[in-house]
Amino acid sequence: MNAAKSVLSKVDLTGKTALVVGGTAGIGQGIAIQLAQLNANVVLAGRNAKAAQDIIKGFPNSNSHSFEKVDFSLLKDTRRFANEVKQKYKHVDYLVITAGIMRMTGRQETEEGIDDKMAVHYYSRARLILDLIPAMKKGSRVLSVLAAAQGSLVTETDFDLKNSYSVYNASQACPLYNDLLVDKLSTLYPDVVFFHALPGMVKTNLIEGLPWYLRIPTKLMTPFATTIEDCGAYMCSGFLAPERSSGYYLLGPKGEVVEKLKVHTDELRDKVYQHTLDLID
């Protein structure tokens, strides 16, 4: 934690706008708390306005922070949300996406024909980033929090797992796709710095969505888990480090840079990105 505090002691985000999607609970809340302490104007985005208002009350200068509602499982609502953000806030200096679904059942398609878990963990992330790029200045930073360098390739013929879905397959595909996305976007938008992070085990309420036979052993591990406040500090130290000023980075639980997977090739990156554009458009 001392290393994270050392990095953050040199950071002042006064006058900067930080949008945290998923910031009304868990890891996103921890990151939002840290960003507010660094003097950013924080915009919390999610579905729970009451939770957001309670969190904002605890921020320094609470009047400079706000909440925006979004259903991140739907691309159309993500686009609406992005347009409203551009109109209301003019520019976004820091975009953080931590929204997640802890669900252990089979494929559940939204009205748009996308599995809701994959929409939240990948496709809506890509949609939001691309829609907000015009509102980002040189030096803006994007952080997607899921499971950097932890995924694997399930199939190259069914990227959205329409015919090969399982909870395990989704848990492998989405982290890899996020790795590939930040890589590809860094080549297309060199003025913006992109990050994908693995937060590790964190004390959040997401475990309540697990079946009992997984919830009980997971709860037994919580004494060893990181608090959301400490996780927020680690994640912020990782993606706000001044020396990480161009390209893309994959981050571990302490904000350290980790190596990409062997399957992470330029060829696969471009294939997944083209698939992504075809689906989200």
In this structure, the number of other CB atoms found within 10 A of the CB of residue 263 comes to 12
pLDDT at residue number 217? 53
Count Cβ atoms within 10 A of the Cβ of residue 270 and give its class: 0-12 exposed, 13-18 middle, 19 or more buried.
middle
User: Which DSSP string do the residues of the chain spell out, in sequence order?
Assistant: -HHHHHHHTT---TT-EEEEETTTSHHHHHHHHHHHHTT-EEEEEES-HHHHHHHHHTSTTGGG-EEEE--TT-HHHHHHHHHHHHHHHS--SEEEE-------SS--B-TTSSBHHHIIIIIHHHHHHHHHGGG--TT-EEEEES-TT------SS-TT-TTT--HHHHHHHHHHHHHHHHHHHHHH-TTSEEEEE---SB--GGGGGS-HHHHHHHHHTGGGSBPHHHHHHHHHHHHH-TT--SSEEEE-TTS-B-PPPTT--HHHHHHHHHHHHHHH-
CATH of the domain at 206: 3.40.50.720
Half-sphere exposure in the Cβ direction for 185 (13 Å, CA) = 30
pLDDT at residue number 213? 43
pLDDT at residue number 62? 86
Q: How many domains does the chain have?
A: 1
**pLDDT tens-digit readout, 206-215:** 545 545 444 4
- The low-confidence residues of the chain, meaning pLDDT below 70, are 203-224
Domain that holds residue 149: 2-280
pLDDT at residue number 216? 46
From residue 16, give the alpha-carbon distance in Å to each of 35, 141, 143.
10, 11, 15
**pLDDT tens-digit readout, 173-183:** 999 999 999 99
pLDDT at residue number 81? 98
Specify which residues 194 forms β-bridges with.
Answer: 142, 248
pTM: 0.92
Please give the Cα distance from 119 to 259 (Å, whole number). Answer: 26
